[in-house]
Amino acid sequence: MSLSSMWVGITTHKMSQQREQLPQISVPMLRLYGRLDGLVPIKVAKDLGAALPHTEQYIFTQSSHAPFMTEANAFCSELISFAQK
Nearest to 47 by CA among 57, 37, 38: 57
pTM of the model: 0.73
Question: How far is CA 66 from each of CA 16, 31, 48, rounded to the nearest angstrom?
Answer: 25, 13, 19
What CA–CA distance (Å, rounded) separates 21 from 25?
A: 8
DSSP three-state, residue 7: helix
Q: Are 34 and 64 in contact (CB under 8 A)?
A: yes
DSSP three-state, residue 34: strand
Q: What is the pLDDT along the chain (85 residues), one digit of tens a residue?
A: 565 555 545 555 555 667 777 788 889 999 999 999 988 888 888 888 888 888 999 999 999 999 999 999 999 999 999 999 9
